Amino acid sequence: MTSFLASSRVPMLLVLVLLTLTSLTGSSLGNFYQDFDIIWGDWRAMILNDGELLNLNLDQASGSGFQSKNEYLFGKIDMRLKLVPGNSAGTVTAYYLQSKGSAWDEIDFEFLGNLSGDPYILHTNVYSQGKGEKEQQFYLGFDPTADFHTYSILWNPQRIIFYVDGSPIREFKNMESIGVPFPRYQPMRIYSTLWNADDWATRGGLVKTDWSQAPFTASYTSFNASNACVWINGASSCDTNNFSPPAWLSEDLDSTNLDKLQWVQTNNMIYNYCTDAKRFPQGFPPECNMS
């Protein structure tokens, strides 16, 4: 009689192959226990629901934060967030990629809290070799505190694209050919923090944090880095002769998404460093002339 183990050998092999592929390309729909470490805030950062939900809290004593266990060099990364409700003025919820060192690279989503009834401001920025100053800010067009919404970063050697609920809001292209640094060489971890920034976050610091509303809470779920290259021991999981390069590694915006991007930039953008003449009296950065 054929044993159960013998009859299960092929399915078991398939499972092992799938587990190997998952470890090579990043986590699938994530478990916060497996994918992240709490780095700040002690009990203010809490993993719940068997690893499916993570809450960050801010009170007058401290904020909180977490970081990914893995480092990535390029990827398409999704996270669903529900932001601090009510009077969130003075608070910042930051969700970003960042490398190590004094000449770091960074790709930022920052959500600037506001008074009850006023819209959140989504602040985006890109750093390369420790230099940023590439801010664009947007209104979201919905209440990001009422439910979870998906915030995504596509980062490949040609471009960085910021997405909200699957629609592009910003594209930062690789323009190294004209001397603009681009984050292409340093692996980055995923971070998120909830902290007090009432010296600048809301109306330039005019509105302060109302600590009677504390604790402030931001929630996270549905992390997905299945389309990302994990950096392990100085090598990328995507550098292998056994697999063809993933499509996202050369992904561009098609005509439909270019139209969506243009609509958001026309209707929802409230600040663009490339149009701030007072900030750059000697002339705009070179990438602004290529837009």
Q: Which residues are catalytic?
A: 106, 110
> Cβ of 18: how many Cβ atoms within 10 Å?
11
**Angstrom distances, CA of residue 150 to CA of 67, 107, 119, 172, 224:** 18, 16, 18, 19, 10
Numbers of helices and strands, H then E, in the chain: 4, 16
User: String of b and e for 210-234 (b: at least 16 CB within 10 Å)?
Assistant: beebebbbbbbbebbbbbbbbbeee
Calpha distance 101→117 (Å, rounded): 40
Calpha distance 38→68 (Å, rounded): 9
Q: Which amino acid is at 20?
A: T
Calpha distance 49→112 (Å, rounded): 27
Q: Which amino acid is at 238?
A: C
Backbone angles phi, psi at 98, to 5 degrees: -155, 140
